[in-house]
Amino acid sequence: MFAPPSRIKGRGVAANPVGRFESTRHEAEDDDWWRGEEPAAAPRTDVTIEQARSMITRNDSPDLPFDLALNPYRGCEHGCSYCYARPTHEYLNLSAGLDFETKLYAKVNAAEVLRRELGKRGHIVSPINLGASTDPYQPIERRHAITRRVLELLAECRHPATIITKNALVLRDLDLLRCMARDRLVRVFLSITTLDNGLASRLEPRASAPHARLRAVADLAAAGVPVGVFVAPVIPALTDHELETIMTAARDAGASIVRYTLLRLPYQVAPLFREWLELHAPGRAAHTMSLQRQMRGGRDNDSRFGTRMRGEGPFAQLLQQRFELARKRLGFTRHEESGSLRCDLFKAPRERGSESAQGDLFA
């Protein structure tokens, strides 16, 4: 018999289930050669260079405060066990499990493609969100610097943007962010799930530690960059008791906005997260999933607009009341009251190598 899944240091999940769209499945078979004392090799991170054909994605979700988004990478090395974006790897014939955090794709031509898209006559200026799916500042950004080049382009043509990240690496680009902030062209959000370093190292093994994220909030605020905190996701019976504590720490660090979202478990994420609970929090697993289903109409997940972010039922209502009371007590404004980013300063970028303005005569 094979040993049950066990924690892999530095990784969020322990399994690599077959994707939904795979036509073939592989099953391991014990040939009596396996020995329990022989640990499996730790999975390495492989990065595939990708030439993107388009960069801007659009959505019409009433639950999201933006309609344009951009993701420099596919997959995310942070390895958050609960990540709702994990199923996107299945469209690549890969697993939502370990593949999502170890088999990554870097869109190295992102800035060049974005330059073409922003230069189109039909482009309607609206803040572009970086980090809606995978983190733009995950560890491989140190080497590839794709997010940096995208920000340089957005700053050049004065296009508004919002950023969501769990990584203090965002401070590397403080020079660009500070310049964009002067013209109300950028807002940054740090996502914080827990302030417990031990729990964070298991939930989000390659993201920045909670105290490093709070320090990033403080440094951004000190530099004049509008910064907020997402308490996300709130995990019932595991992190929900930290809601007010995280909000208070965010206020003390200088955050001007705070929001929260509930745990979402679409498709293959649900069994992966249940396995994570059994490995890391077995005493709370049943309680967590029971409350999760109570907020999701008896299911692990509810994808309906209007309820997917906040849930429904008594426990979800209690969380919302707690959040509103803490928000008012701590002096946070509502997100819609925080001031919009400017869209009137945009100047369409020129194609690289085309410094002449002769083409403008025929515009």
Q: pLDDT band for position 209 (50/70/90)? A: very high
What is the number of H-type helices and E-type strands within the chain? 11, 10
Q: How far is CA 151 from CA 112, 131, 169, in A?
A: 12, 13, 14
The one-letter amino acid code at 350 reads R
Query: What's the whole-number mean pLDDT along residues 318-346?
Result: 89
Whether the predicted pLDDT of 38 surpasses 70: no
Query: What's the whole-number mean pLDDT along residues 1-16?
Result: 72
Query: What's the whole-number mean pLDDT along residues 109-137?
Result: 95
Pick from 174, 236, 169, 235: nearest CA to 207: 169
Residue 186: count of CB within 10 angstroms of its CB: 28
CATH entry 3.20.20.70 includes domain 46-262: yes
What pLDDT is recorded for position 132? 87
DSSP string, 229-291: EEEEEEPTTTTGGGHHHHHHHHHHHT-SEEEEEE----TTHHHHHHHHHHHH-TTTHHHHHHH
Segment among 33-37, 252-256, 258-262, 319-323 with least mean pLDDT: 33-37
Instruction: Sketch the domain layout of the chain as residue ranges.
Output: 46-262
What pLDDT is recorded for position 358? 43
Phi-psi category of 237—alpha, beta or left, where left has phi over 0 and alpha has psi -120 to 50? left
Whether the CB-CB separation of 12 and 79 falls below 8 Å is answered with yes
What pLDDT is recorded for position 172? 98
Q: pLDDT band for position 246 (50/70/90)? A: very high
pTM, two decimal places = 0.89
Q: Quick: pLDDT tens for 132-147.
A: 899 999 999 999 999 9
Q: What residues form DSSP beta bridges with 231?
A: 192, 260
Query: What's the whole-number mean pLDDT along residues 215-219?
Result: 98
Whether the predicted pLDDT of 266 surpasses 70: yes
Q: pLDDT band for position 265 (50/70/90)? A: very high
Q: Quick: pLDDT tens for 269-320.
A: 999 999 999 999 999 999 999 999 999 999 999 989 888 889 999 999 999 9
Answer positive or negative: Cα dihedral of 58, 75, 84, 235. negative
Q: What is the DSSP letter of 307?
A: T
Query: What's the whole-number mean pLDDT along residues 184-208?
Result: 97
What pLDDT is recorded for position 2? 44
Segment among 240-254, 301-315, 331-345 with least mean pLDDT: 331-345
Q: pLDDT band for position 351 (50/70/90)? A: confident
Whether the CB-CB separation of 66 and 129 falls below 8 Å is answered with yes
What pLDDT is recorded for position 5? 62
Measure CA 117 to chain center: 23
What pLDDT is recorded for position 21? 64
In a 3-state reduction of DSSP, which class is residue 106?
Answer: strand
Buried b (16+ CB within 10 A) or exposed e, 258-272: bbbbbbbbbbbbbbb
Query: What's the whole-number mean pLDDT along residues 217-246?
Result: 98
Q: pLDDT band for position 59 (50/70/90)? A: confident
